[in-house]
Amino acid sequence: MRQGRRKLWRAVTGLALSGLLGSGLVVAAAASSTAAHDPADSWTVDGPGGSALQAELGLDPSGGLRLAVDSGGAPVLLPGRLGIRTDQHDLTTGLRLVDRQQRTVRESYRTTTGKQLKRSATMREATFTFSGADGARLGVVVRVSDDGVAYRYLLDGQGPVTVTGEASTFELPTDARAWVQPYSPSYETERTETTAGAANAAQPAKCAGATCSFGYPTLFEVGSTYVLLTEADVDGRYSGSHLDHVDGGSGYAVALADDAPVTAQGPLATPWRTAIVGSLDTLVGSTLVDDLAPPSKVEDTSWIRPGVDDWSWLSNGSSPGDFDRQRDFVDYAAQHGLPYTLVDAGWQSSWVPELVRYARARGVDVILWFAWTDLRTQQQRDTWFSTLKDWGVAGVKVDYMDSDAQSTFQWYDAILHDTAKARLMIDFHGATIPRGLQRTWPQVMSVEAVRGEENGQNPTRDIFLAFTRNIVGSMDYTPTWFSRPNRKDSLAHELALPVVYESGWTSLGDNPEGFSAQPVAERYLEQLPTTWDETHLVSGGPGPQPAGDRQAVIARRSGDRWFVGGILAGAGDTMNAPLGFLGKGAYLVETIGDSGGQLRRTVRTVTAEDTLTVPADADGGFVAVACPAAKGRADCDQPVIPAPATSLTLDPASATALPGASTAFDATFVLPQGPALHQVRMTVDRDRLPAGWTAAGADVTAGSLRAGKALDGHWTVTVGTDQPGGEVDVPVVVTYADPAGKKAAPVHVEEVVRVSVPLHGTVYASDLPFLTETNGYGPVERDQSNGEAGGQDGKPLTIGGTVYAKGLGTNAPARVQIDVQGRCTLFEAHVGLDDETGGKGSVTFTVLGDGDRQLAAGGVVRGGQGAAELTADLTGVHTLTLVVGDGGDGKNYDHADWGLARISCAD
C-alpha cells in the first residue's frame, strides 16, 4: 500500500492498515469470489493494463464504506463515504463484507454522434457484497478504467424499493483548484474558478446558507491531475442528483433531485457515481460517461443524420412565426450545403407543411421546436409524432423540462422510446446534462444544459465549458453570431466555437445577411462536420496561463481532415497549436484568424513536427483545417453540391369529391437544367392517405433523367366511404439520389392535390380543421378541457356533472373559426364553465357567422352552473366563429367548454 494513502486512511478511519493491501485486487476475465471470512478491511481495484489509476474501498470502525482514488501513486480523491438508505434499511454503517467478485469489462460500440464515433474501453470491475446490521444486503460495484473511476449500488430485493438518500461523498483537498457551477436543473448558471473548500464563498448570491448545491460536471485540479465529477446511466428508475458542499469543507455529497426519495422496482442498480481522472487531454477525449451507459436500444440507425442547421431565433426571436423569413433560412441552408433548418417557437401548423415541402425539394430538412408540455402525455406524443411524420419533419427540439426529478426522467424514457419508434431525431433544450443517453438512444443529437449564446456572451465561460460541460456529451451552445450587436468576442472566436464544442446538431446563430458578410467564415462552415473520429486537446486549460489568459485549442478529425478550433479569453496573445496529432507526411493547413477586425485566411504546408502559431485578438481565436498535401492541391475543400431546382406540377392541384367518389390527376416532374438526376421515382404516398382511401396508378421511375425531359404520371384517388367533410392532402412524391453523394439521403420533392370533401350529415366542431384559433391560455383543446399550457393535456369535458365526449375546451378570451362551406343548417352546443374550475370564473358564449354577424349569444355564465343550450341557424353561412368572453372579470378560471358542438349539414 502507498504511504500517502495509508496516512490518509489512518486519519479518516483510525485503522492501521499496513500490509492489508499489499497484493491488491487483480481483476481477471473470469469471475471469482472470496470467502466471507476474508480478514481485510480494505481492498484495491487496479486499472487495466498499465493504468495509473487505482481505487481503494475500505470499511471504517463504524462499518461505514469509504472510497479513495490514486493516480500514479498520488492521492486524487480522498476517502469519501459510500452507502445508501432506503425506507427499510440504513446501509451506511454496520456493514461487513460477505462476497467479492471481479471481472474485466470490455466495451466496443459505435455512436451516431460525439467526439469519437468508434469506441472501445476496458474497465476492471469488482463487485463487493456487504451485509448490514439487520441482514440486508448491499452491493457496491467499482469500475476503474484508463480515464476514471465509477461506482454504483446494487439492491437485490424484489418488489418496490424506495431510496431516501445516499451517503455518497467525493472528498477533495480543500486547496484544490475548482471550477464550480451553482446547481440549477437547467444547468444555465455561470461557472466560477475557486478552490474546493471556498466554493460556497465564490457564489454568495447562490449560497445563502452553510450548504451550497453545485451541478455536474464539476472540475477539480489536485496536484497535476484533474478530476471531473459527474454521473452516468440515469433513467426513470432513479432521479438525477447534484453535489452539496458545506462551506470550507472538503466533501461534495451526492444529493438526490429535490431532496426527494425515488422508488423503483427491485432489484435496483443505481446510477454510476463517476470521476473522470487524468490530464486535461485525457478528460477532453474521455468517453467514460458513455462507456458506463447501456447499449443502444435502436438497431437501425441509418435514418439518424447529424449536421449543421441555420436557426433564426437567436438573431430575431419573432422570426420563427414568419413563413417568408423561414424560407430565407431554408434558401441559405440549401445554397451552402447545410442539411437542416431549425424553426423555433412561434411556427404555425397552417404553413409548416408547405415550408417542409419547400425545404425538402432543396435538400434541406426541417427541425421543429416544441415546449415539453405539448409532448408530455402519450396521447400528445402519438398525435404530434404522427403529424410530424406526415409533414416530413426530420426531428424535434424540446424545451423547458428544467427538472432532475424521477418523474421527469420517466418522461425522458417515454419520449426517447417514442421518437425512436417514429424515427424522429431529438434535441433536448432546457434540459438536464447528458449522462450517456446518446449511446443508449442514438437519435439524441444534442442537449442544452448550458448557459449558451442565447444567455449572452462570456469568453471566460467559453473556456470553462471546453473542460467541463462539453466533455460529458453533445452541447447545444448555439454558437456563431457574427452580426450580434455589441459582440464581446472576435470574429475568429465565434467561428471557432462550433469546432471547440461538439454537438450532433450544431445550430448556427446568425442570419443569412450576417453570414454573407463573412465569406471566409461561410466557406469554412460549409465544410464543417458535426461528428468526429478523434478528438484531442492541443493546448490550453481552464485556468490562467503564464501570460495571464485562458485558452483552449482542440483538434477533431473527420475522415482524413483535421479541424482545429482555438479560443482565448483575455488580452490578445499568440496561440500555439503543436501539430503532433497529424499523421505521417505533409499536410496542407488553412488557417483563419483575426486581422484588423476582419477574418484572414492563410495556407501553408506542415508536418506533425511543426507548431501552428496564430496571433489572436483580445477574446479572440482561430480555426484551421488540415488535409494530406497532394500535388496541385490548393485547399482542403470538399465540394458543396446543392440540390438542383426542379419542378413538380399537379393537374388539377385541387378537386372536390364526395365519399366513395373518385378524382383523377396528372403529375409532371422536370429538371430544367444541370446534370442528369439518377434513381428517380414518382409515386403517390399511399401510407399517408386516410383510412379507406385508395389510389390507382403505377409508380413512375427513371434510372437517369436528363435536363428538359419530363417524367409523367397519372393517378386516380377514391375517397373513403366513411370520410367526414373537410380537406385532405394527397401527397405526390418524387425522390432521386442526392447529387452530394451516396451517403446522403435521397432528395424528396413533394406537392399535394387538395381534395375537398363537402361537409355532410352530422359533424362535430372538434373533428374539423380550424381556419384560425386564439385562446386565453394554451391551445384550444379538442374533446377535452383546456388543461395546462400544453396541447392535448386536458380532462374530459364536464359541466354540472355531465361529461361530454365531444366538444371544445377553451379559456377566455377565445375565438375559433371553422369553414362550414355554406352546406350546413344548424349549430348546437351545451356551454358552461368546466367543473375543474371549482365553481369559479365567469364567461360569455357567442356564435358568429361570416364575420361579425351574431347568430346566437347567451348571458354571463358562472362556475358551478349547469350547462346552457346554445343553438344557431347556419343556413348560407360559410365561416362559423365561436367566441368566448371573460365575463368582465378577467380570464382566471375561465375554462369554457363547448360541449357537444354539433353541426348539421346537407347529406
Is residue 33 one of the residues assigned to a domain? yes
From the list 454, 685, 767, 873, the catalytic residue is 454
Q: Are both 71 and 218 inside the same structural domain?
A: yes
Dihedral of CA 241/242/244/249: which sign?
Answer: positive
Is residue 304 one of the residues assigned to a domain? no
How confident is the model at residue 744, as a pLDDT? 85
Is residue 524 one of the residues assigned to a domain? no
Q: Are both 738 and 769 inside the same structural domain?
A: no
Is residue 813 one of the residues assigned to a domain? yes
Which amino acid is present at 501? Y
Q: Are both 807 and 718 inside the same structural domain?
A: no
Residue with cell 384517388: 717
To the question of pTM greater than 0.85 for the whole model, the response is: yes
Is residue 892 one of the residues assigned to a domain? yes
How confident is the model at residue 545, as a pLDDT? 56
How confident is the model at residue 500, as a pLDDT? 98
Q: Are both 49 and 177 inside the same structural domain?
A: yes
Beta strands 340-343; 365-371: pairing state: parallel
User: Could you list the residue range(s) of the whole structural domain that residue 842 is in?
Assistant: 762-905
- Annotation says 399 is catalytic: yes
Q: Are both 716 and 835 inside the same structural domain?
A: no
- Annotation says 873 is catalytic: no
CATH number at residue 789: 2.60.120.1060
Query: Could you give the CA distance from residue 683 to residue 696 in angstroms, rounded to a whole number?
Result: 11
Is residue 519 one of the residues assigned to a domain? no
How confident is the model at residue 699, as a pLDDT? 97
Q: Are both 654 and 749 inside the same structural domain?
A: yes
Q: Are both 689 and 793 inside the same structural domain?
A: no
HEC profile of 503-571: CCEEEECCCHHHHHCCHHHHHHHHHCCCCCCEEEEEEEECCCCCCCCEEEEEEEEECCEEEEEEEEECC
CA-based nearest residue to 837, from 895, 777, 887, 889:
895
Beta strands 251-256; 241-246: pairing state: antiparallel
From the list 221, 399, 590, 783, the catalytic residue is 399
Q: Are both 116 and 25 inside the same structural domain?
A: yes
Q: Where among 739, 757, 775 does a domain terminate?
A: 757
Q: Are both 171 and 65 inside the same structural domain?
A: yes
How confident is the model at residue 10, as a pLDDT? 45
- Reading the block at residue 652, the C-alpha cell is 388539377
Q: How many domains does the chain have?
A: 3
Q: Are both 126 and 268 inside the same structural domain?
A: yes
**395 DSSP β-pair partners:** 367, 425
Q: Are both 662 and 771 inside the same structural domain?
A: no
Residue with cell 440549477: 184
Q: Where among 737, 757, 777 does a domain terminate?
A: 757
CATH number at residue 727: 2.60.40.10
Long-range contacts: 23-32, Cβ < 8 Å, 24+? 24/54, 25/100, 25/102, 25/126, 26/102, 27/102, 27/103, 27/104, 27/124, 27/125, 27/126, 28/102, 28/103, 28/104, 29/103, 29/104, 30/103, 31/101, 31/102, 31/103, 32/101, 32/102
Is residue 669 one of the residues assigned to a domain? yes
Q: Are both 851 and 879 inside the same structural domain?
A: yes
Q: Where among 271, 291, 311 does a domain terminate?
A: 291
Is residue 78 one of the residues assigned to a domain? yes
Query: Could you give the CA distance from residue 583 to residue 587 in angstroms, rounded to a whole number?
Result: 9
Spell out, as residue ranges, where the chain has pLDDT lower than 50. Answer: 1-8, 10-11, 13-39
